[in-house]
Amino acid sequence: MKGLFLVVSVFLLTTCGLETFYYLPQLSQANINVAGGNNVSLNIPSLSQFSTLGANYSIFYRIYMSNHQTEIPLESEYYTINPTLSNDYNTLYTHANPANNTTVTTADTFKNRSYHELFLENPDSTNDIIISDVITSSGGLYNIIFPSRTGEYPYIENRGITDPVTGTFRRNNLFRAGENDNNNGIKFDQEPSRNFFYSPELIEKTDHPNFVNNDVALRNQVRTDEYAYVSMYIVSVGQNPVNFQRIFSKPTHISVFRLTNLY
């Protein structure tokens, strides 16, 4: 998969008296193919050459309430969907822009925009799965599907693993970040559930918004919106071997998807 990375190696800057900086490769936008507004294919290169940094991939998301309906959200519609979506997209683009070498992506990059790591339902356990345990350093081909029909659960499909029971590619339903998960240090309740569906209960916020639906952005404090969308970014993630803090590549925007109703 030579040439698929915008950056193809760990860059170590070591000079007398200066800290060593570790850089991970950004996933190229060319490796992301969005079809029909609700289906995205990810061609994920291997990170095996970054094994000393424990590198893998993660996805960060945020949900946006809206009164605007569209099946294929375009960048030109982001402000109409929700002004906060447009603002977040423009702010994060300073990090995502491959030509911008002046910004450094950290956990606070996402935390400050109320973006949280994606989790997955574990069909074999009551414990959930963080996305980085599925999109590993081995890379591979994955599909993220947001079905357009009411009541169908959004899921990720690993096209490299076949389910022995169904004979289809391995699927895991998408989960919002959980109450007991890291969430960039923020713990919050998910109303009405951890699944990615539209519901009026998504709008529910207490006077302490960090504690309920911290992953949801209202539209100008409106509480009657009838639609919801989710924006996602993918990053490669590793660990600084010196201070053991997480290190991130530049993020790459996957897409914006409309959430359907559960019922």
Q: What is the pLDDT of residue 207?
A: 59
Q: What is the pLDDT of residue 12?
A: 42
Structure confidence at residue 94 as a pLDDT band (50, 70, 90): very high
- Closest residue by Cα to residue 139 from 5, 46, 51, 54: 46
Q: What is the pLDDT of residue 23?
A: 82
Count other C-beta atoms under 10 Å from residue 62's C-beta.
22
Q: What is the DSSP string of 80-122?
A: HH-HHHHHHHHHHHHHH-TT--S----HHHHHTTT-EE-EE--
Q: What distance lies between CA 139 and its chain's CA centroid?
A: 16
Strand, coil or helix: 107: helix
Rounded Cα gap, residues 11 and 4, in angstroms: 17
**Do the Cβ atoms of 251 and 140 come closer than 8 Å?**
no
Rounded Cα gap, residues 189 and 124, in angstroms: 23
**Do the Cβ atoms of 168 and 198 come closer than 8 Å?**
no
Strand, coil or helix: 39: strand
Note the pLDDT tens digit of each residue in 181-238. 655 667 788 889 999 999 988 887 655 667 889 899 998 877 788 999 999 999 999 9
Going from the C-alpha of 31 to that of each of 9, 141, 156, 214, the distances in angstroms are 18, 10, 16, 30
**Do the Cβ atoms of 252 and 27 come closer than 8 Å?**
yes
